[in-house]
Structures are given as C-alpha cells and as structure tokens.
Amino acid sequence: MTVAELIGLLNDMTDRENPTEEALRWFNACSRRIAPQARIPQISESTIPVPFSRFSLPEDLVEIVQPDGLQYQPEGKPYWTIIYDRHLHPNKVTGYRRFGKVAVLDSTYEPGTLRLDYYRLPDPLTSLDDEPEIPEAFHEIYAYYGAMLYLSRWSNQGEDYPLHRAEFERLLNELDLHTSYQRGRGAPFQTRDVMPRWKSRRRVL
C-alpha cells in the first residue's frame, strides 16, 4: 500500500480528513516503533586506513546481529575475525562495548576492514507514493498506529482505541514471527550505498 492509500484507511478509521504532514509524522513514528520486529537487515563495510580502537555506529542502527554481527579483516589478510559484544559474550577473546552510537574495542586494531551486520530503521516515508519497507501484508499496521495516536489526544478515547490497539499488537506479533522466520532462512541481499564511508548491502525481504 502507498502512503496515500494508508491515509485513506486512516481517514476511515478516524472519520476525519487527516493532513498529509500529520499522517506522515504518525507513520514514521510507527516505523520507529516497529523497527525491532521489522528486522530490516543491512551489511555495511568500512576500510579504516589507520590503527583504531573505537568507531561510530550507523545512525539508523536498531540492533547488531548476534553473535557474529561485527567482523574485522586485517589489511592484506584473507581471513575475518569476529569481534564479540562483551556484555553478551564476556569470555570471548576479542570484544567491544557499546556506548550509545560508539563502539569501543578492547584493544587497538591495525588498519583493515570492519563489517557490520545489523538491523536498521526503515527508510522515512516522505511522499504519497512511498510504500513501507515491511511486507505488504502488514502495511495496515501504519493506519492502526496513526489512529491510536490520533485518539490518544482525547481523554475519552471511546471504544475504537482498544480495538485499534488490539489490531496493531496482532499485526506486530505476526510481523515479528514472519521476520524471525525470514532471517532464519537467510534472505538474499542487494547492494546500495547509504552512509558515508560505509559500503552497504541490503537484504530483500
């Protein structure tokens, strides 16, 4: 469904004409809310030409894939080494700790390539022709979330709010199950550059 179609569905749910700018704000809030369940995968690589002991994480990062989501290849070497999250794997030889959007390594690494496999935020919805990145079977979740945000303005939300919330939670649970299964199967991926200094590959749902 396009944003225009989702706004039409939202209008039916709320019995009003919702301005496009407001609906887009609600839909993008929904994208952030459902990002952990959407599991939109991204693999980014960056070649670092100097010794390093920390690096910035992507702004759109939701979660690093575990346990091998961060790997390092020394310059001129054919092999990759897994760098483990110390909070989750305290007994591993190599590790890092996250502090917000910065990862701090246990030691200084020589020049080489870092590869980060992670789940990212969905791309922002900005126009009426845009479509959410999640599978189409779950697109209605955006309209339900928008209706929830609209109704949450009022002290008396009526009987519609719990109905919309129940449908939102049902679709969210089904999306969670669907993407868990897809990630377990190992979905194919395509290449696209989205961040400076990071070569990015995006898998397709």
How does pLDDT run across 109-120, given as a tens digit for each residue? 999 999 999 999
Model pLDDT, residue 184: 65
Tokens matching residue 91: 């007994």
Parse the chain into domains and list their residue ranges. 3-39+122-185, 41-120+191-203
Average pLDDT over residues 41-57: 92
- pLDDT class for 203, splitting at 50, 70, 90? very low
Look up the pTM and report it: 0.84
Please say if the pLDDT value at position 190 is more than 70: no
- Helix or strand run (H / E) with residue 199: strand 199-203
CB 135 within 8 A of CB 177: no
- Classified as helix, coil or strand, 13 is helix
- pLDDT at 40 exceeding the cut of 60: yes
Q: What is the pLDDT of residue 113?
A: 94
How many angstroms separate the CA atoms of 205 and 192, rounded?
15
Calpha distance 138→150 (Å, rounded) = 20
